[in-house]
Amino acid sequence: MESLRVDELQRFVGGPQAVCLLDVREGWEVQTARIELPGTRSLHIPMQTVPARLHEIPRAQPVVCICHHGARSAQVVAYLMRQGYERVYNLAGGVDAWSLQVDPAVPRY
């Protein structure tokens, strides 16, 4: 499984292909804090609903999975890989690390 550190995410997003940010947290978490980056497509699909909504997750572009600390998103990355997705990445440390290391304007919870 490939992971991206939060300091790598901005460079990754600036690459040649559009990136999908897949937020697998619950709705209240997304309302509390979110990562928004220009040039990305953001999807909010809570972890438990990923299997039913698999058709919404693009296969033709890299997908970076995001959660609060990186544990749930790691599980989703593993699941997507088992479903044949090739370019899926876990954001190590999640939204919390993003808030601490990149953008302190993103609330911590």
Catalytic residues: 67
* Alpha carbons 51 and 12: distance in angstroms, whole number: 26
* Alpha carbons 65 and 58: distance in angstroms, whole number: 12
Quote the tokens at residue 15. 């690459």
Radius of gyration of the chain (CA): 13
The amino acid sitting at 63 is V
